[in-house]
Amino acid sequence: MLIKTYDLDIFTPPCEPGAERYSAIARLATNISEVLPYLNATLRGAIYHEAANALTWKKGGHNIAFHAFEIATSNIVDRDAAIKELDGLVQLVNRTWERRAELIPSYQKRQRPAPMDVYQLLPKTNCKQCSEETCYIFALKLSTGQRQLADCPPLLEPDFADKRQQLKEIVNDMPAIG
């Protein structure tokens, strides 16, 4: 196990005293730098900054950052949720580290596709079958890895085969989270 213990710091952002959303940081005794390229290889939508030794990732509306000695997350509803969220992230790091022999680390810094480019390839019918209000909102979430192509049923229709393939090349070239 890579991370055995950590100290937890939960706070409201200094620029927003009294804010209802929390940020939280797990301060680690262990350096997790070596696991970052493996997370980069497996987390859909993650962005790895090798020079800064950091990896950022969006998940469920939270902005998450992994650094050598800390894991930070934001936009958490309450303290219990912050504890649970960071525990899940620590477990993710440990699981990824344990699986490293079967993974190929990636040092590539990926660029997120522009939401408008993604939108242009969607059906643009705003049918809401994906549970989003509009195709553009779906495009925003698809470009940051919060939704997947399979969440848009109309894309499975034969008429959209070409566009689905193009979308796959720009947003779905990374494996989904294991």
Write out the residues near ligand SF4 by the rule CB under 6 A.
Answer: 122-123, 125-130, 132, 135, 138, 152-154
In the complex with ligand SF4, which residue's Cβ is closer, 80 or 133?
133
Q: Smallest distance, Å, CB 139 to ligand SF4?
A: 7
Q: Smallest distance, Å, CB 84 to ligand SF4?
A: 29
Q: Smallest distance, Å, CB 142 to ligand SF4?
A: 8
Q: Smallest distance, Å, CB 124 to ligand SF4?
A: 7
Token reading at 75: 């936009």
One DSSP character per residue, 54-90 reads EEEEEETTEEEEEETTEEEEEEESSHHHHHHHHHHHH
In the complex with ligand SF4, which residue's Cβ is closer, 59 or 164?
164
In the complex with ligand SF4, which residue's Cβ is closer, 56 or 129?
129
In the complex with ligand SF4, which residue's Cβ is closer, 108 or 165?
165
SS3 content of the chain, % helix, strand, coil (to 5): 40, 20, 40
Angle (deg, nearest 10), helices 135-143 and 161-171 = 40
d(CA 31, CA 71): 11
